[in-house]
Amino acid sequence: MERRTFLTGTVFGAAFAALPLGTLSAAEACAYTDVPVNSIGALQNAIDNAAPGDRIVLANGTYTVPAGTSIEVSGKHGTEQAPITITAASRGGAVLKGENGFALSDSSHVTISNFSLRQGSTLEIPESCSHIRLTRNDLQLADIEGMHWVMVRADDTKIDRNHFHGKTTLGVFLGVEGAGTSAMAQRVHILRNHFSDHTFPGDNGGEPIRLGVSPRALSSARAVVEYNLFERCDGDPEAISVKSSDNTVRYNTIRDSEGGIVLRHGNRTRVESNHLIGGKEGLRLYGNDHVIVNNYLAGLSGRALVVGSGSTRDHNSGETPEQRRGNDACDRAVIVHNTLYKNARALSGESRTYEPQKVVIADNLLVGDAGTLVEMGATTDFTWQGNILWGAAADGNIPSGGFTRVDPGLAQGSDGVFRLTAGSQAIGKAKLLGTTVADDIDGHPRGSARDVGADEYATAAPVRRPLTPSDVGPNAS
């Protein structure tokens, strides 16, 4: 095994440190150890002997992990400043095939990057690990019925800048759970991934991201799911399925997909500044105390925003598994500053036993030319204020004091998004007090006199726009 130590003061060291591999911090860039390998056996040997700061670099090529074996990463501990990095020589240049791939256990601060992963079994990040990073990989694992591709159970895992694509069978691209039967992995960060082309024809079980499962609904995960792009994700009505509590889902784009964002189980999740465009499902809410702010839902063929009713009022720790699988009525949600533009169904409810209660629906913009803009089922103690409705669609059963009907003066930008124009009657008309909304979906500051809808009128270019493939995946910045 050959080890090479490079310093950024050398010409080669400076060039190598500048490579956008996404693994070097400022502290690490001063010195690190490069360990080149060119076989599975050499790779395993280098991992077995790895120390903090080592970067094990597998030469480009196609490698098959021998049957009945894995690439074991066991008992290996980097540090925050000097992780152990296992990487291909160039992005996607090393293709790993075989029954199994990397098998992690009792390890921390380990990064796996730049591989084309084609294995025949789930990539597990178990609860015995922490601070594992999976970055800049291309994942198209075996298309086996019921097989999940990546399952995270470890705290402080980071899944970023990967491309998950090409699944036609039951099973999720990325699942997050935890130890035992009820815990959730803590502080998982999922960002700038590209999820595309999941074509499982069933009506359940093909989510791109499943953040928890029913028995874990009441466990706080504190996950952040941000800046991810979903395209042609048709394996489930839920592209991002949240079944845990205290999470943040923001700045994602879901385009031309059957799935939407569904808070299926759990409480206190914030869904902020997401674009859902040209697909089927939008946002669907169950559970308590969610905040839904600054989202843009346009051209959806299904239901854009559903405030769900329940088969139970509140989930609790004494439930049976069957009771936990039921729907929890949506209580005390705050739904503010969202734009719903020309969807088949805009804002609607449901008709289960327990109606949603004490929900605030304020300063939203609903535009439609067909059907009905508001079709709520039974509700209790809802607050409606400051909403604007427009278009040929009927108002529906929104209370008369909860909206005005005025032309918001929208114009379509080069990115396809409809925004306010100068002189819009939505400018400065927001009414809700007591809820902090610092900026709009574009990243422009709201100021003190807020506008209605997801967009705050501004002449400056948007800081955030709907994501494209160049913004995500292995080559993203």
Predicted local distance difference test score (pLDDT) of residue 320: 84
Burial 111-120 (b: 16+ CB within 10 A, else e): bbbbbbbbbb
- The structure tokens listed for 420 are 């306010």
Report which secondary-structure segment, H or E, holds 445. none
How many CB atoms sit inside 10 A of residue 158's CB? Answer: 18
Q: What is the pTM of this model?
A: 0.94
Helix (H, G, I), strand (E, B) or coil at 457: coil
- For residues 285 and 328, the answer to whether their CB atoms sit within 8 Å is no
Average pLDDT per 10 consecutive residues for the chain, totaling 477 residues = 42 35 44 90 98 98 98 98 97 98 98 98 98 98 97 98 97 97 97 96 91 96 98 97 98 98 98 98 98 98 98 90 89 98 98 97 98 97 98 98 98 98 97 90 95 98 98 97
Helix (H, G, I), strand (E, B) or coil at 26: coil
The candidate with the shortest Cα–Cα distance to 302, out of 340, 356, 351, is: 340
Whole-angstrom CA distances from 374 to 250, 380, 410 are 25, 16, 20
Domain coordinates in residue numbering, the chain: 161-471
CATH classification number, 161-471, choose in 3.30.450.90, 1.10.357.10, 3.90.1150.10, 2.160.20.10:
2.160.20.10
Contact partners, residue 18, CB within 8 Å, separation at least 6: none
Dist. CA 25–CA 444, nearest whole Å: 30
Contact partners, residue 433, CB within 8 Å, separation at least 6: none
Q: Could you give the percent of the chain with pLDDT greater than 70?
A: 94
81-92: per-residue pLDDT in tens? 999 999 999 999
Angle (CA) 439-445-450 rounded to 5° is 80
